[in-house]
């Protein structure tokens, strides 16, 4: 499966990714012929929305007073992992934004010479 086909997952919607879309993404990530930089560039926003959704759902379950201790410990651990994924996504997005700004600034002198 190509990265280009997967690039459309999660685009044009503010909904989290479906299980099927996540599975497709995992297959692409495991495919050694995929352009991982391109994959993340095209899917980081959808990934971030999905992780935020998972954090909300996990937090809601943890609010239940009747959740068994074993489940509570497991979900709290997963919640910590999810927060770590958000931090990674945010760093990627910030780096992407900084790179875009640098590219735009690099083009500014060239643009002023065109007039």
pLDDT above 80 for 110: no
Sort 106 into a burial class: Cβ within 10 Å, 0-12 / 13-18 / 19+.
exposed
Question: What does the block give as tokens for 101?
Answer: 């700004």
Handedness of CA 54, 24, 85, 90 (dihedral sign): negative
State the pLDDT confidence band at 68, using cuts at 50, 70 and 90. very high
On average, the pLDDT of the chain sits at 85
What is the C-alpha to C-alpha distance for residues 31 and 15, in angstroms, rounded to an integer? Answer: 26
Name the domain count of the chain: 1
- Which pLDDT score is estimated for 10? 64
What is the C-alpha to C-alpha distance for residues 108 and 115, in angstroms, rounded to an integer? Answer: 12
| pTM for the full predicted model | 0.75
- Which pLDDT score is estimated for 14? 84
Query: How is residue 17 annotated by DSSP?
Result: P
Q: What's the domain range around 73?
A: 3-114
């Amino acid at each position: 499966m190509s990265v280009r086909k997967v690039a459309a997952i999660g685009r044009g919607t503010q909904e989290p990714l479906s299980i099927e879309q996540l599975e497709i993404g995992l297959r692409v990530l495991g495919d050694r012929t995929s352009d991982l930089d391109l994959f993340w560039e095209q899917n980081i926003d959808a990934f971030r929305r999905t992780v935020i959704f998972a954090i909300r759902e996990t937090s809601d379950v943890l609010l239940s007073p009747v959740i068994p201790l074993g489940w509570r410990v497991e979900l709290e651990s997963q919640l910590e992992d999810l927060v770590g994924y958000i931090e990674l996504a945010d760093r990627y997005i910030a780096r992407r934004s900084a790179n875009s700004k640098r590219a735009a600034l690099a083009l500014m002198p060239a643009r002023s010479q065109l007039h």
